[in-house]
Amino acid sequence: MRALIRHQVLLVAGLGGAVLFLGACGEQSSGYTNSAGSLALSRDDAFLYAVDTDNDFVAVVDTASNTLVSQVPVGRSPERVVVGPDDTIYVSNRASRSVSVIKRGAGQWLEVFQIPVGVEPVGLAVTPDNQTLYVVNSTSLESPEVGTLTAIDVKTLTPRWDLVVGEEPRGVALINGNRALVTLFKQGDVVTVDLQGPAVVQRGTTLHQTVNATVLNGTSSGSAPPTFGGAQRTFHARGMSDVVVTPDGRRAFATTQWSREDTLTTTGGPTTPPGGPPGSYGGGGGGGCGHTGGVATAGLSTFDVSSMEETIPLADDLDRCDPSSDPNKDFPASALLSPDLERPIQGPVVSVMDSTGNWLFVANYNTDNVAVLPVASRQGLRPMGFDGFSFRPSSIHSVVPVGSGPNGIALSRDGKKAYVYNSFDHTISTLVQQGSGAEARLVTSGRALKVADDVLSPDVVAGRKLFFSASDSRMTAANTTMACGTCHAQNGREDGHVWMFADGPRQTPSLAGRQITGSAPFHWNGQFANLAEFLGETVNLRMGGTGATNDMAGQLAAYIDSLELPDNPLRTNAPTEAQLRGAQVFQTAMCNSCHGGQALTDNSFHDVGTLVRSGSNPDMFLDRGLNVPSLLGVSRTAPFLHDGSATTLRTRIFATRYNDLHGKTSQLSDGQLEDLVEYLKTL
Amino acid sequence: MLPLLVAALLGQANDAGTAAPPGAEWIGLPGEAMPPPPAPAEARPPPVSSLPLPPTIEEPLRGSSPSLIYRPETPNKVSLHGGAPLTPGRRAATVAMGFPMLGARAMMGVTPALDLGLSYETLYGLMHDARVVGRWMLWNDGGLYLGVVGDAGPAFFSRLPTNDFRGSRWLTGRRNVNASAGAVLSMQGASPRASRFFLTGRCMLSLDTQPVQTDPLGGTPPAVLITPNLVTEIGLEAPVSEWVALVFRVGMDVHGRADDSLVMVTGAAGVVTALP
């Protein structure tokens, strides 16, 4: 009997111990970081590192005294910064094809090395064991059409491998040390990489199908009411610039810009929301619910990354009227709808999470604010928010105004401060909680600290702010919240989107390095003879701005003229034989008869056989044909043509080689056409 | 559990209806006919020395069915909520349905004063709380018992803490690991079927191994957040037989964490039974 009792006691104790152990376990390491974009904190939170793209240096700020203590020169156009576990600072130099390595000494910082990497490096991540640095290159060193993820040995600072991940990648986040998510800026999706392989194990997700479930599949992801007004809208995620992972490695969040794919109306909406009549790009103009009826809506894409097998998108059906307030969804609303019309949200570029994985801070480049929202619920709100049509709960807790062009954010490890780098102002804002309990509010603490001066001309500085502002009432209406940079994203380039205007499809053309202001008339149909006309139509009528003055037009022109052509690995001083032959073919095929001159356009009009004559959204008012676009930097502007019908240059050249409508190519051999493609890639 | 409760309740009502005098009841097995009532006193033969002795618990009544046993009422000593311990080797279990929790507990007597066991409670699937439980009798005087009780174990929640806004954590005050210790006082009358009243007061420490930042920029919580709570309960175990008792209890948990509900009122009804 005694033995039996002892046995049973041991059994009970064992079971108890087992459940205790199981209860205590469960956490796993992840690639969580407390900073994103152009700003990072040292491991002891004593110093802030802010990369200043204009000045080509890293500003070092003492957080205790809030003073600038150093400016460390790095490569050209530094973009992002990350701090490794050993406090080494890594900076991606977009215009130098390098990553700067900065060591922290006794009160000083020094760039000790620049690691050569791919073209226009952006995203950075260091493994928690400090073994490997991962760098996202916008394009590889071999082709402008694909970007890569490079793994660099932290000890030797040499590359281990370089993996093609897709077109125009930007952000990277590590998941539990063995996987990585990489965002594709224009495709608006994430690629899943097995870091041990290395190999791309998933080239994309079903995000597009998920957010358009009702329209594409006839199914809905939620129980929200049906489409507002009978219109069916579909959306394309663009501008996926960055991604972060929760501390437990279960979820990932990517900043997104939802862009309408359906036909955009140009008439006013069913009601006029407070704040004045919207532009035709606005939420009321397109018909629909709140801002998701607008042409472009700030968003956040959630991914379930808990499974090793598949990265699964968790998203609202954006064609539904009310995707934001469902309390049963354990992920943030896919559309970032501000609870406060006075503080709209547009241009989310980077985000960061608190160390407990409860709050997400999103820096909004176009509206100069930070949106704070709960990560796993929709309950972080102030009681009710107004989204343009009705009062309803907002999934956003706070929208905190900061300086101009915020593109970096870092959270202190004590969870009490958020720092934001305002790239256009060269200042750092500090966010704190004011008050407590129900009265707690997030505010900026004191004046923003200026860490660098303007080195660009005053007109360029002012023009850049105008170009990227979706909150300046002169440029856009509060319920439209569009900036020039909403479509001409990434420094005046393009977003890879084809907009279905009422007069036909229009792919966003790049403005960077194309001598645009000297190439009037403007737009694909050439309807604007000069910039003033263009601004009158686009800024006033479409974006809902009160009006751009001549001074503003001059400032915008100055900024556009300052934009550099995107870097191209094939644009070298030593072209290949194929490229040289291709240059000859360019002449032979008479491409240069239209794409001639310095800007590779004669600003004339031609029908190259691409006009859309039928279907639901045909081209209209194009009797003259299309305005010839510049070919400068063409290789990085996919998809091609005004309707985006060619996904690669090769596809375009070979598909219509025999009709001689787009160059005299019918007599050219396959080899000559291949050479022509090689040449075009170098432009 | 519900059929058990119903059966127990019916059994109690039946006992009350017959109103048999103490020491004179017959217990039948299911399906058996009730034994005939005892013959009137005057019909009984006068006591003589040659007559058989009164029946005992081990000896079937002569002339009656072999399956019928006469047994004098034995006090119910099977308590899982009071301070009275089980005897060494004896096992007992309880199940209870209530609001907001339902749960079960099984214990075994280890020494004359110490019982050990396991308990489980669930917030109807939203939270599962499993614990090792112990009870040590400190003192008793007749029907009055004073003991100390303690338990510890993990809790599992259906939602992540980041998605448990006003959810099971908020309501129960419990977290990943919970441990409590306190005193229990119980009292039982002299009657074999007298109810046992009990009163417990415990301090429960909830260990939050996944604390989340409740307010943005409100500060990072420590890696493990320990919160004291006060758990109180009163109730009674109402025996319906030597081995089975009904239990009714109400209580109030007072939570020490600011972002939890201030109190959680509890109530439950169930059954306590000895295990073979």
Inter-chain contact B162–A375, Cβ cutoff 8 Å?
yes
Does some domain include residue A594? yes
Average pLDDT over every residue of A487-513? 88
CB-CB neighbors (< 8 A) of A248 in chain B: 160
- When divided into structural domains, chain A yields a total of 2
Inter-chain contact B108–A5, Cβ cutoff 8 Å?
yes
Inter-chain contact A16–B211, Cβ cutoff 8 Å?
no
For residue A440, the model assigns a pLDDT of 81
Does some domain include residue B180? yes
CB-CB neighbors (< 8 A) of A15 in chain B: 118, 132
For residue A118, the model assigns a pLDDT of 96
> CA of A433: which chain B residue's CA is closest?
B217
**B93-116 per-residue burial string, b: 16 or more CB within 10 A, e: under 16:** bbbbbbebbbbebbbbbbeeebbb
> CA of B131: which chain A residue's CA is closest?
A16
Q: Confirm or reject contact between A24 and chain B (CB < 8 A).
A: yes
CATH code at A579?
1.10.760
- Residues on chain B bordering chain A, Cβ-to-Cβ distance under 8 angstroms: 88-89, 108, 110, 116-118, 130-132, 152-156, 159-163, 165-166, 176-177, 209-221
Neighbours of A667 (CB within 10 A): 11
Q: Report how far residue B272's alpha carbon sits from residue B96's, in angstroms, rounded to the nearest whole number.
A: 9
CB-CB neighbors (< 8 A) of B153 in chain A: 16, 19-20, 23
Does some domain include residue B55? no
In A, residues 272-291, which contact B (CB 8 Å cutoff)? none
Does some domain include residue B41? no
Q: Report how far residue B169's alpha carbon sits from residue A384's, in angstroms, rounded to the nearest whole number.
A: 25
Give whichever of A84-93, A253-262, A493-502, B11-20 has the largest mean pLDDT.
Answer: A84-93
Quick one: DSSP state of residue A283? T
* DSSP letter for each residue of A570-624: T--SS--HHHHHHHHHHHHTTGGGTS-TTTT----EE--S----SSSS---S-TT
A313 preceded by a cis bond (ω within 30 of 0): no
Give the Å distances, CA to CA, from A544 to A272, A277, A279, A283, A536.
12, 7, 4, 11, 10
| Domain of B107, in residue numbers | 91-275
A622-642 pLDDT, tens digit each? 778 888 899 999 999 989 988
Inter-chain contact B220–A377, Cβ cutoff 8 Å?
no
Q: Is residue B115 a contact partner of residue B93, using CB atoms and an 8 Å limit?
A: no
Inter-chain contact B152–A16, Cβ cutoff 8 Å?
yes
Which amino acid makes up residue A180? A
Inter-chain contact B89–A361, Cβ cutoff 8 Å?
no
C-alpha distance from B123 to closest chain A C-alpha (Å): 17
Degrees to nearest 5, angle at CA A32 with A349 and A149: 65
Does some domain include residue B267? yes
A414-428 pLDDT, tens digit each? 999 999 999 999 999
User: How many beta-carbon pairs under 8 angstroms link A with B?
Assistant: 114
A655-665 pLDDT, tens digit each? 888 888 888 88
Q: Report how far residue A627's alpha carbon sits from residue A610's, in angstroms, rounded to the nearest whole number.
A: 12
Identity of the residue in B88, B166, B211 whose CB atom sits nearest the CB atom of A356? B211
Nearest Cα to Cα of residue A42 among A129, A107, A136, A99: A107
Average pLDDT over every residue of A211-217? 79
Identity of the residue in B118, B166, B217 whose CB atom sits nearest the CB atom of A12? B118
| Domain of A68, in residue numbers | 27-170+186-204
Nearest Cα to Cα of residue A447 among A66, A36, A31, A19: A66
Q: Phi and psi dihedrals of B9, rounded to 5?
A: -65, -45
Does some domain include residue A19? no
Q: Report how far residue A525's alpha carbon sits from residue A320's, in angstroms, rounded to the nearest whole number.
A: 34
Inter-chain contact B154–A19, Cβ cutoff 8 Å?
yes
pLDDT classification of A610: cutoffs 50, 70, 90:
confident
Q: Is residue A574 a contact partner of residue A671, using CB atoms and an 8 Å limit?
A: no
Inter-chain contact B216–A442, Cβ cutoff 8 Å?
yes
Question: Who has greater pLDDT, A285 or A506?
Answer: A506
Does some domain include residue B21? no
User: Does residue A268 register a pLDDT over 70?
Assistant: no
In A, residues 362-381, which contact B (CB 8 Å cutoff)? 372, 374-377, 379-380
pLDDT classification of A273: cutoffs 50, 70, 90:
very low
CB-CB neighbors (< 8 A) of A27 in chain B: 209-210
Q: Confirm or reject contact between A434 and chain B (CB < 8 A).
A: no
Q: Report how far residue A349's alpha carbon sits from residue A242's, in angstroms, rounded to the nearest whole number.
A: 7
CB-CB neighbors (< 8 A) of A380 in chain B: 216
C-alpha distance from A327 to closest chain B C-alpha (Å): 10
CATH code at B120?
2.40.160.40
Inter-chain contact B217–A16, Cβ cutoff 8 Å?
no
CATH code at A67?
2.130.10.10
For residue A324, the model assigns a pLDDT of 53
Q: Report how far residue A592's alpha carbon sits from residue B129's, in angstroms, rounded to the nearest whole number.
A: 77
Does some domain include residue B70? no
Top residue of A12, A32, A417 to mutate, by most chain B CBs within 10 Å, is: A12
Q: Confirm or reject contact between A332 and chain B (CB < 8 A).
A: no
A134-189 pLDDT, tens digit each? 999 999 999 999 999 999 999 999 999 999 999 999 999 999 878 999 999 999 99
For residue A607, the model assigns a pLDDT of 86
For residue A481, the model assigns a pLDDT of 84
Question: Who has greater pLDDT, A501 or A349?
Answer: A349
Inter-chain contact B215–A417, Cβ cutoff 8 Å?
no
pLDDT classification of A479: cutoffs 50, 70, 90:
confident
pTM, two decimals, is: 0.83
> CA of A27: which chain B residue's CA is closest?
B210
3-class secondary-structure state, position A110: strand
Does some domain include residue B32? no
Top residue of A5, A19, A22, A409 to mutate, by most chain B CBs within 10 Å, is: A19
Structure tokens at A602: 């004669």
Identity of the residue in B155, B211, B219 whose CB atom sits nearest the CB atom of A416? B219
B45 preceded by a cis bond (ω within 30 of 0): no
Q: Confirm or reject contact between A413 and chain B (CB < 8 A).
A: yes
Identity of the residue in A8, A12, A397 whose CB atom sits nearest the CB atom of B216? A397
Q: Phi and psi dihedrals of A458, rounded to 5?
A: -55, -35
Residues whose CB is less than 8 angstroms from the CB of residue B56 and which lie 6 or more positions away in sequence, other chains included: B70
Q: Is residue B207 a contact partner of residue B224, using CB atoms and an 8 Å limit?
A: yes
A27-85 pLDDT, tens digit each? 345 678 999 999 999 999 999 999 999 999 999 999 999 999 999 999 999 999 999 99
Identity of the residue in B116, B216, B218 whose CB atom sits nearest the CB atom of A12? B116
In A, residues 615-644, which contact B (CB 8 Å cutoff)? none
Does some domain include residue A620? yes
Share of chain A above pLDDT 90, in %: 50
Q: Report how far residue B48's alpha carbon sits from residue B52's, in angstroms, rounded to the nearest whole number.
A: 9
pLDDT classification of A230: cutoffs 50, 70, 90:
low
**Strand ranges (DSSP E) for A611-676?**
626-627
Q: Confirm or reject contact between A23 and chain B (CB < 8 A).
A: yes
User: Does residue A18 register a pLDDT over 80?
Assistant: no
CB-CB neighbors (< 8 A) of A433 in chain B: 215-218
**Residue the block writes with tokens 């396959």:** A670
For residue A271, the model assigns a pLDDT of 36
Give the Å distances, CA to CA, from A252 to A57, A127, A149.
30, 17, 18
CB-CB neighbors (< 8 A) of B154 in chain A: 19-20, 22-24
> Among A21-25, A216-220, A671-675, B79-83, which is the least confidently predicted range?
A21-25
For residue B22, the model assigns a pLDDT of 44
Burial group, residue A309, by CB count within 10 angstroms (0-12, 13-18, 19+): exposed
CB-CB neighbors (< 8 A) of B132 in chain A: 12-13, 15-16, 20
CB-CB neighbors (< 8 A) of A20 in chain B: 132, 152-154, 177
C-alpha distance from B254 to closest chain A C-alpha (Å): 20
Does some domain include residue A81? yes
Which amino acid makes up residue B133? V
C-alpha distance from A389 to closest chain B C-alpha (Å): 27
CB-CB neighbors (< 8 A) of A5 in chain B: 88-89, 108, 110
For residue B23, the model assigns a pLDDT of 42
For residue A64, the model assigns a pLDDT of 94
A355-411 pLDDT, tens digit each? 988 899 999 999 999 999 988 877 655 444 444 444 445 678 889 999 999 999 999
ipTM over 0.90: no
Inter-chain contact A15–B220, Cβ cutoff 8 Å?
no
Question: Who has greater pLDDT, A359 or A503?
Answer: A359
Degrees to nearest 5, angle at CA A437 with A434 and A438: 95
Neighbours of A3 (CB within 10 A): 7
C-alpha distance from A515 to closest chain B C-alpha (Å): 46
Neighbours of A625 (CB within 10 A): 18
Inter-chain contact B132–A22, Cβ cutoff 8 Å?
no
Inter-chain contact A12–B160, Cβ cutoff 8 Å?
no
Does some domain include residue B271? yes
CB-CB neighbors (< 8 A) of A398 in chain B: 216
Top residue of A29, A45, A359, A442 to mutate, by most chain B CBs within 10 Å, is: A359
Mind listing the pLDDT tens digit of every residue in chain B (276 residues)?
A: 334 433 433 334 344 333 444 444 444 444 444 555 554 544 455 544 444 555 454 454 555 555 566 667 888 889 999 999 999 999 999 999 999 999 999 999 999 999 999 999 999 999 999 999 999 999 999 889 999 999 999 999 998 888 887 889 999 999 999 999 999 999 998 888 999 999 999 999 999 999 988 889 999 999 999 999 999 999 999 999 999 999 999 999 999 998 899 999 999 999 999 998
Which of A204, A230, A246 represents a domain boundary (last residue)? A204
Sheet containing A169-175: which strands, arranged edge to edge?
A169-175, A179-184, A189-194, A199-202
3-class secondary-structure state, position A591: helix
- When divided into structural domains, chain B yields a total of 1
* DSSP letter for each residue of A503-525: TEEEEPPP-TTS-GGGS-SBSTT
